[in-house]
Amino acid sequence: MNKQLRKAVIAGNWKMNKTPAEAKTLVEEMIPLTKDADCGVVVCVPYVDLCTVLDAVKGTNIEVGAENCHWEKSGAYTGEISADMLTSMGVKYVIIGHSERRTYFGDTDVTVQKRVRAALDAGLTVILCVGEYLEQREQGVTNELVAMQTKIALGGVSCEELSRVIIAYEPVWAIGTGKTATAEQANEVCAEIRRVLSSLYGSEAANGVTIQYGGSMNAKNAEELLDQPDVDGGLIGGASLKAEDFSIIVKAASR
């Protein structure tokens, strides 16, 4: 019932894959396969592919995102990209706080919060990733941890700005491992995130937020995961690199 209050969004995270030429081929394969989607369809691609992909999706229902952005507007930050640079190109979405950024590139809850702030100020829609390591799940602290990540990342975000925030619950142990959370595990944590949002912004605002599951979602398991009442879409890594598989997930979210 509440599911009708929010938009399902399937977002691909291509990670460090695809040259511009390969990106063009992949997105052109996706366009006809996803054109009848009754959900949001987003591809988050490497910076060097943004121009090519933005050009290729013109006039289609596919929207484009980046995989990260810096929190400063400009300056001496060699190798970084600002949120304003992304919006100036026509980029609409940005993934913030992906576990690979947290694990390999030193992102913390504090830098995630700063990136969220910068992205929202620039007019982007944020796909905010939260999730626990396996040891944390085994210690029984998943809900507390995910609640804390969510609260810190959203520090200073207004209720109005929340309409440009998607939250992706991504258990780290399920990312790129082929180990998917069960539909019940995914739903339980997505529901916990919604409770946190409700405590911060009230139930009406919380019921309008799209909460995705991410972690080895694929053409075979998507339907069961997306059927869950608090799972409103998916952040898809590996399976977003295959047009056919990605389109099957988009169809599952469109039912």
At closest approach, how far in Å is the CB of 168 from ligand PEP? 7
Instruction: Examine residue 189 and tell whether it contacts ligand PEP (CB under 6 A).
Output: no
170 annotated active-site: yes
Query: With helix as H, strand as E and coil as C, how does the chain read?
Result: CHHHHCCCEEEEECCCCCCHHHHHHHHHHHHHHHCCCCCEEEEECCHHHHHHHHHHCCCCCEEEEECCCECCCCCCCCCCCEHHHHHHHCCCEEEECCHHHHHHCCCCHHHHHHHHHHHHHHCCEEEEEECCCHHHHHCCCHHHHHHHHHHHHCCCCCHHHHCCEEEEECCHHHCCCCCCCCHHHHHHHHHHHHHHHHHHHCHHHHHCCCEEEECCCCCCCHHHHHCCCCCCEEEECHHHHCHHHHHHHHHHHHC
Tell which positions 153-182 bind ligand PEP, by CB under 6 A.
170, 175-176
Q: Does 131 bind ligand PEP (CB under 6 A)?
A: no
Residue 238 binds ligand PEP, judged by CB under 6 A: yes
Select from 32-40, 130-138, 153-161, 233-241 the region that touches ligand PEP (CB under 6 A): 233-241
215 binding ligand PEP? (CB under 6 A):
yes
The CB-nearest residue to ligand PEP is: 237
Q: Indicate if 135 belongs to the active site.
A: no
214 lies in the site for ligand PEP, by CB under 6 A? yes
Between 84 and 166, CB nearer to ligand PEP: 166
Closer residue to ligand PEP, CB minimum distance, 53 or 84? 53
Asked if 237 interacts with ligand PEP (CB under 6 A), we say: yes
What does the binding site for ligand PEP look like in residue numbers (CB under 6 A)?
A: 13, 15, 170, 175-176, 214-217, 235-239
User: Catalytic amino acids?
Assistant: 98, 170
